[in-house]
Structure 1
Amino acid sequence: MKKFFSTFILFILLNTLITPIEVYSIDNKNILTTSSVTLKSDERKLWIDHVLWTRNFIISDLSSLPDEDFILQRLLKNQDDIGNSISPYYGEEAGNKLSELLREHISIAGQVVDAAKNNKKAELDKYNTLWYKNADEIADFLSKANPNLQNTELKNMLHKHLELVTDQAVARINKLWPADIEAYDTGENHMIHFSDIISDAIIKQFPEKFR
């Protein structure tokens, strides 16, 4: 009997390791497989890195720190990583296009921060306009690639992201440290939500890849 019990336990353990993990939602209607959980986790990491390295760049740029160029290169790598993350679903050309749009997003962000730092309102208005236009182009690109993504929702989410990045820069320029920290924390949570929107849409569009 003891031998039978041990064999049974071993069978259960092996079956658990071999069988794909399925995580049920609260309403038991939606199942998250191992592959879908991995996608959501990976996307969250990428977009958290996006706000993290953007913050580091703002700090380095405003303070003219010697690590500014190194931080910028790491930030730009993140844009390539995000583009690469959609290539398995939409192809390399689409991944490169998203990276290009996101690199432009970072380039304009640097100009916005510099204009704010030097109190050049005309330049700030100019680059802010370009920044929001770029955000709309990102939303247009993603919503065209995936019909489960609503264009208006993406634009609102990206506009809020720009607003929170601006809040950080303005707070640091004015040495309002609690406001700076609050803007970053809010921005991080905001982009986690954004990444989940992207992941959920991909899973819905390509269900065969996440069974």
Structure 2
Amino acid sequence: MWAQHIYWTRLAVNSIVGGLPDTQATLNRLLRNPEDFAAVLAPLYGAAKAAEFAKLLREHLTIAAELVQLLKSGNTQAAADAQKRWYANADAIAAFLAGINPFWSRQEWQKMLYEHLKLLTEEVAARIAGNYTENVATNDRIEPQAYEMADVMTEGIVRQFPSLFQS
């Protein structure tokens, strides 16, 4: 799911920045990612907690799309506001995850999410500037970082629910 998250985020960024006709369809697919997470988390944490995570992740994606559009248009004041909301959302996601799994640290999630936001901001800036070599190189750094988040999530779930993973 984290791989899908970054895959569709990259495509959405490229579509928004490029003004491509597939922008809305790509954003719609990207916004399915929170529901995919919720479907996996619901059997473990219940429908309400899974829906809460999906809401936070949807906000993350919606703010990101807004931020890309603002940066593309050069509206730096509104972009700065969106970026503050984006980081506050990352804080909320980190606190939420730490609250549902004792093996997930708020600080660790916050660090990973901040790194995710930093890298995505760099990727967007390179795309807007037309520096495609840097844009691709940044994406090469985003992928392993997303897998790190996936590993932390998986390890926490296995540690919290070991009976589900024993044969």
Q: TM-score range by the shorter chain?
A: over 0.9
**Structure 2 counterpart of 1:62:** 17
User: Which ranges in structure 1 are unaligned for 5 or more consecutive residues?
Assistant: 1-45
Q: Which amino acid aligns with 2:63?
A: I
User: TM-score, normalising length from structure 2?
Assistant: 0.97
In structure 2, what is the Cα distance between the partners aligned to 1:76 and 1:121? 25
Q: Aligned runs of 1:121-132 on 2, under 5 Å?
A: 121-132=76-87
> Kindly, what percent of the aligned residue pairs are identical?
34
Runs of 4+ more than 6 Å apart: none
**Structure 2 counterpart of 1:194:** 149
**Structure 2 counterpart of 1:16:** none
In structure 1, what is the Cα distance between the partners aligned to 2:138 and 2:37? 23
Match of 2:140 among 169, 185, 208: 185
In structure 1, what is the Cα distance between the partners aligned to 2:23 and 2:34? 17
In structure 1, what is the Cα distance between the partners aligned to 2:121 and 2:113? 12
- Tell me by how many angstroms 1:139 deviates: 0.6
**Structure 1 counterpart of 2:126:** 171
**RMSD of the alignment, in Å?**
0.7
**Structure 1 counterpart of 2:104:** 149
**Structure 1 counterpart of 2:164:** 209
Q: Aligned runs of 1:34-113 on 2, under 5 Å?
A: 46-113=1-68
Between Structure 1 and Structure 2, the one with more helix by share is 2
Q: Which amino acid aligns with 2:111?
A: N
- Tell me by how many angstroms 1:128 deviates: 0.2
- Tell me by how many angstroms 1:110 deviates: 1.1
User: Over alpha carbons, which structure has the higher Rg?
Assistant: 1
- Tell me by how many angstroms 1:78 deviates: 1.1
- Tell me by how many angstroms 1:61 deviates: 0.5
In structure 2, what is the Cα distance between the partners aligned to 1:84 and 1:188? 23
- Tell me by how many angstroms 1:189 deviates: 0.7
- Tell me by how many angstroms 1:111 deviates: 1.2
